[in-house]
Amino acid sequence: MAFADKIEGHRLYLMTELSLSTKSKSKLFWSNLYKLPDELEARYLQEVLKIIQKCEKVQNQETIDALIARDLPNYIMAYSDKQDKSLAVVNQIISLIVVLVDNYYSSAIKNDSSKQIWNKFIIKFVSSVDKYTGGTFNFTNLVKKVKPILLQSSLEKLQDSQIIRLDEGICASATEQSEILPVSLVIHNKLEFYLNVKRICWFYQFSKDFKKLEILQNPTTFLKHFVQECISPQVQSDNHYIANAFTNAVFANLSLNVSGYHLFNVKNFILTKLTLIFKDLNFKEQEVSELLADNLKSLTMVDANMKRMVLEAMKCNSVGDDNSVELRAKFSETLVNVNSGFTSLEESGLIELINELPKILLTDKRQQIASNMILDMIDGFVRSKELEKLNRLLLALMNNVELVNIILFHTNMTLLNKLIDYIDFENFKIDSDEDEFQEYYSYCGVAIISIILILKVFDIDFSKIDIKDSFVISYINSFFYRLGSNLTSNAPTKNENAEEDSTIITNYNTLLSEWINSLFDESNDGLSDDLVKSLSIKQIYKLIPIVYKQAIEATNIKRIDFSVMNNGLDYLSQLFLIPVNVCLIEWMLRDPSLKMDLKYKILSELIKTSLQNVGETPSLIFKIILNICGPEIMKQCPVTEVYQIITPHVHYNNVEKTTPKEKMPISNIRESFKNIFTADTSQYIELFESFEKFLKHNKLEVVQFTIQELYTFHTRSSEENLKLFINLMVSIFIWDSIENNEDKLYWIEKLNADVDRADLTTKTTSSLPSATFSTTTTSEAKDLSFNVSIDYHYSSIFNDEVAASSMNGGGKDAADAMDDMDEFLKQDDEEDDQNEDIEMKIATSEELLKFINHVHREDCLLAYFKRVKDKTNESNLFYTTIKILNEKILEDLSSREI
């Protein structure tokens, strides 16, 4: 998950910064670095590089002197002795040497003693890497940069070993290098082979992106993009060629080890869109049938069952019937016209209808009709405040992940946006004498876990987004991606009066004690209605996860017995508290400090209790949670009773689909992907999914790697396969960055613009909007979350605008301690209508779209490339290479019609 990577990255940064603070810490750091796993070692080196590249020179000159004269040389000598090496680590070491020479040559490296040390470790390092790579590694960049340090004897050693040749331009300055005439990137040989690989990669990225699926819904629009991107101009009018090329690329994606929703998208595209695209190529119905049948015979990667499904879908698409009247009647019978007072959800037939829909929605038109009909019903129920019917629809829908997938396939984030606006707008207030308030409260919880299911199952990341007045976005960032770890530093309240603050905190503590005693003390009578009504449901969903988190941590360190913990677990099966489970389970699965046996006992209790009444509402709610957390539970609890219980309830389960290629260290993925254009392409094409994951979370490294490969192509090797790879990477840069014509024009302008050097001194990193991250270490966060008073959580739980606006009147017999708190929470809203919804000046979904677009532009490959480009001047070794790459990207961008 992106959030977990962010936290881990911050931890690495803090540890690296600490290592550069004193000589002793520096020695400890560098003497142990080479013992780490390759991937972690490379990441630490990257953090060191970032600190030095930002010109954050170490304040303690003694530390930098020790780093240059002792610690770095000793580390590199030790690393050179390792039998197995990682090219990711090697490249980071080279980058670090280059940056240190740039920053500290005159002040620390230039003296004779340092020169002697550096000559020794550079020769050993270069020789060992050359031997490890079989003489294929290009050291030209490194040797050019360190030439002022190298003694003549060292240069001769490198030349005698045939590691470098002095006629390669080692003596050329960076300025002279910038005048090297560029080698053409135009593809002449292997063009068809290149386009075939490119088509497979293009459809891979397209089919995983719901936004692109929505934009290119129309077959004519889709074909226009495909032909422009993946078909050479000479054959763009040959419809038979286009049809065959497209079919091969689409079906090839079935062999790319795709899984989950991505695999469904590929199959669903084949079954619902292929025939329509062929028709748009002006093939007659009989020709479409013959063409598909002929293509399927030649496709060895497609199994017999899939071929049968394609031929059946082709017949259905040729009919193209409109079933909207029939479908609307079924929804009216099972939901719209049902009296919930007499007919339960289980008796209504809605669940059976929802489960039947994916089987009968075999055409593109039927899927669109059903998707829009469901979205319209959600709108209608929200407008008319028929929340019970909306809750029934969500319970049935979210228990059928495949139907949710179909809706996203056709409408992108529309369903998600509607649910976010619904929760942020609805206050879920109740009357003080309402009997069924727990069920009413549960409507909020079902909607929340519906949102979380869409985010988790369909790989949508909100961790970089922070919308101030959105309960949903705040809740996801504070209680799903993390569990309250970012709340401990908040001020207790907004009130500046210390005495009043103290009174309010005392009232909160009284209330909190009542909740804890009711939940965990078996001598108590349990949760009273008045106590539950004392808080709004949105406040309950913030408070209760923190209380249970602290209880679990207390059990883990044996502050309380498991029997006490177990008393509290029973309440998590209550209808309105079941959604709290998703926060707790996600946190437990992420936290390595919790004992595995405790995790298992808690998971076992929660799962068995919640699933005991199959078919009833509590069970349906918990099954949604299992589709969110199930795959990770199955990874951590294999060959257990829990594994057997939850397996039937997890729709997209990728646990079983691990292959040796997936286990390849990430440091080797990019090197392997570079060989995608070798003769035996089949073994590398399966690496695209791993490379795509690497690309998603390591974009700066992907940009740097591409620049290095282009430099190699220009200075040392004009190999055709490397040219193909560079062209593919340029396309990947653009696919990752361009979603519409506005993006295209934006990046053409940005990449053409002159660099504002003054701006670089103040803005060296991305300005992404993000939630606040905790700056504590893992152990510190654990101690804080249990030992520090929950006083520091109160402002986050009770004092935000949305929670305050949605606060209800509370029970008549609530404790006296609640009076002051009620007055504080209501914030002078006594005269407001108790049933008035939260006023939103701008819908959260509109704000969300702005943030998503902003994050995308700041976090795409072209954004990282521009940062590298803007920080490069004519004295830089890669100046010409970056200039050539920039021109190539602009050329490709300008030629595209989007």
Q: What own/partner pairs with CB < 8 Å and gap ≥ 24 does 29-35 have?
A: 29/71, 30/67, 30/71, 30/72, 30/74, 30/75, 31/71, 31/74, 31/75, 31/78, 33/75, 34/75, 34/78, 34/79, 34/82
What's the pLDDT at 206? 92
- The C-alpha atoms of residue 122 and residue 112 are separated, in whole angstroms, by 15
Instruction: Report pLDDT for 811.
Output: 38
Task: Record the tokens describing residue 1, joined without a space.
Answer: 């998950």
Sign, Cα dihedral of 411, 413, 416, 421: negative
> How many residues are there in the chain?
898
**306/303 Cα distance (integer angstroms):** 6
Q: Say if residues 393 and 378 touch (Cβ distance below 8 Å).
A: yes
In the chain, where the domains are located:
2-167, 498-652+778-815
Asked if 504 contacts 825 with a C-beta cutoff of 8 angstroms, the reply is: no
Please compute Rg for the chain using Cα positions.
30
Measured CA to CA, the distance from residue 609 to residue 640 in angstroms comes to 17
Q: Torsion over CA of 64, 70, 76 and 81, rounded to 10 degrees?
A: -170
Helix axes 2-19, 38-53, angle to 10 degrees: 70
Task: Quote the CA–CA distance of 813 and 235 in Å, as a whole number.
Answer: 80
Q: Which amino acid is at 49?
A: L
* First vs last C-alpha separation in the chain: 31
Task: Assign 232 to helix, strand or coil.
Answer: coil
Q: What is the dihedral of CA 413, 414, 416, 419, to 10 degrees?
A: 170
CB-based burial label for 450 (10 Å; 0-12, 13-18, 19+): buried
Neighbours of 381 (CB within 10 A): 21
This prediction has a pTM of 0.75
SS3 of 90, please?
Answer: helix
Give residue 734's identity as a one-letter amino acid code.
I
With beta carbons less than 8 A apart as the criterion, state whether 701 and 6 touch. no
Predicted pLDDT at 153: 77
Low-confidence ranges of the chain (pLDDT < 50): 1, 56-58, 165-182, 488-493, 655-664, 679, 756-789, 792, 800-834
Vertex 611, ends 609 and 616: CA angle to 5°?
115
What gap in Å lies between CA 170 and CA 173, rounded to an integer?
A: 8
* Distance of alpha carbon 810 from alpha carbon 433, whole angstroms: 10
pLDDT at 110: 65
- Predicted confidence at residue 57, as pLDDT, reads 47
Closest CA to 582 of 603, 563, 600: 603
Largest CA distance in the chain: 94
Q: Is residue 859 within 8 Å of 768, Cβ to Cβ? A: yes
What residue type is assigned to position 843 of the chain?
A
Q: Looking at residue 677, what DSSP letter applies?
A: G
Q: Supply the pLDDT for residue 53.
A: 67
Instruction: Determine the Cα–Cα distance for residues 434 and 99; give it in Å rounded to an integer.
Output: 68
Task: Give the residue carrying structure tokens 């057997």.
Answer: 644
**Cα-based torsion angle of the residue sequence 242, 245, 247, 252 in order, rounded to the nearest 10 degrees:** -160
Tokens of 219: 């077959």
CB 540 within 8 A of CB 532: yes
Query: Could you tell me if 17 and 783 are in contact, meaning their C-beta atoms sit under 8 angstroms apart?
Result: no
Asked if residue 335 lies in contact with residue 392, where contact means CB atoms within 8 angstroms, the answer is yes
Q: In this structure, what DSSP letter does residue 839 have?
A: P
Q: What is the pLDDT of residues 387-433, one digit of tens each?
A: 999 999 999 999 999 999 999 999 999 999 999 999 999 988 877 66
**Angstrom distance (rounded) from CA 253 to CA 180:** 40
